[in-house]
Amino acid sequence: MQLTIGKELNANDKIYKPDFNSKSGRELLAFYLQTKFRQIFVYDKKQENPILNGVNPTFVDRFSKRLINNPTKRLLIGVTGESASGKSTICREIKSVIEQFSMPVTVLSTDNYFNDISELINKYGSFDNLTDNGYDVDAPSSFQLDILREDLEDLSEGLDIKAPMYLPNGTGVSVPKAFDVKSQKIIVVEGIATMYDAVKDIFDIKIYVETENELRKNRFMDRAVEERNQSVENAQKHWDYITQAGEKYVKPFRKEADLVINGNSDLKYFAQMLEHIYEITNNYEQAP
Helix %, strand %, coil % of the chain (to 5): 50, 20, 30
What is the chain's pLDDT, residue by residue, as a tens digit (288 residues)? 334 555 555 545 555 555 656 777 777 777 877 888 888 999 999 998 899 999 999 998 888 888 777 877 899 999 999 999 999 999 999 999 988 888 889 999 999 999 999 999 999 999 989 999 999 999 999 999 999 999 999 999 999 999 999 998 889 999 999 999 999 989 999 999 999 999 999 999 999 999 999 999 999 999 888 887 788 998 999 999 999 999 999 999 999 999 999 998 888 888 888 888 777 766 544 444
Please give, one letter per residue, the 3-state secondary structure of 243-281.
HHHHHHHHHHHHHHCCEEEECCCCHHHHHHHHHHHHHHH
**DSSP H stretches of helix in 157-266:** 213-222, 232-245
Distance, CA of 241 to CA of 225 (rounded, Å): 16
Rg of the chain over Cα atoms, rounded to whole angstroms, equals 21
Going from the C-alpha of 53 to that of each of 56, 157, 210, 263, the distances in angstroms are: 10, 32, 8, 10
Q: What's residue 7's pLDDT? A: 54
Q: What's residue 21's pLDDT? A: 66
Distance, CA of 41 to CA of 266 (rounded, Å): 16
Q: What's residue 183's pLDDT? A: 95
